[in-house]
Amino acid sequence: MKFAVVVFPGSNCDIDMFHAIKDELGEEVEYVWHDVKNLDEFDGILLPGGFSYGDYLRSGAIARFSNVMQEVVKAAEAGKPVLGVCNGFQILLESGLLPGAMRRNESLKFICKPVQLKVENNETMFSSEYSQGEVIMIPIAHGEGNYYCDQETLQQLKDNNQIVFTYDNNPNGSLENIAGIVNEKGNVLGMMPHPERAVDELLGGADGLKLFKSIVKQWREANVINA
């Protein structure tokens, strides 16, 4: 499986994402600059954390207009897995690939620490290697991770089982403790915690590795079926 790690001006978690794919999974991966106009050669798209374009206006608000985002939308519509972490999640929200918006943390402070997450839905291409209800430890690092949506959207997320991860102890005020959601199709995941920073026990834990293993497993199974 071949992944693209999209790099925006201000991305700072792209190297972590690259390491998770290349060194921990042993899969093919390349950095892709934000002005690229074709992602057809890639099987999966990864939007890393950081401060794209300095987080001016709003986090992710400028990055959504980058040339590469047209290709990310195209990949999502084609059913390819698209993962946005932290700033990547914010970009997915701004681009309309996921519903809702991000607000400043309730404390109005930047938060950087490991947090416990609960796996609310293990039937997605990003979470199949986890057990339903499994509690995992994944680090966060954000100032605008307070997820919000209107009540109609929230009900849709619940009805469609789109809430994949929730916080055990909400660190930022996020609505319904939401830490990660998928689109209705199930191939686009946005999450604030950083699974790429939890892929090796040397880093303090490897609970994030199952997420990347899930993507590869589901992709391979789908391609065997379609072959």
Tens of pLDDT, residue by residue over 107-156, are 999 999 999 999 999 999 999 999 999 999 999 999 999 999 999 999 99
Residue with tokens 């987080």: 55
pLDDT computed for residue 90 by the predictor: 97
- Tell me the C-alpha distance between 227 and 222, whole Å: 9
Helix or strand (DSSP H, E) at 2: strand 2-7
Tens of pLDDT, residue by residue over 26-54, are 999 999 999 999 999 999 999 999 999 88
Identify how many contiguous H helices and E strands the chain contains and give both numbers.
Answer: 5, 11
Catalytic residue, chosen from 71, 120, 129, 196, is 196
Catalytic residue, chosen from 19, 34, 142, 194, is 194
CATH of the domain at 45: 3.40.50.880
Number of domains in the chain: 1
144 a catalytic residue: no
Catalytic residue, chosen from 86, 94, 129, 149, is 86
pLDDT computed for residue 195 by the predictor: 98
Domain holding 179, by residue range, is 2-226
13 a catalytic residue: no
Reported as a pLDDT band with limits 50, 70 and 90, residue 226 is: low
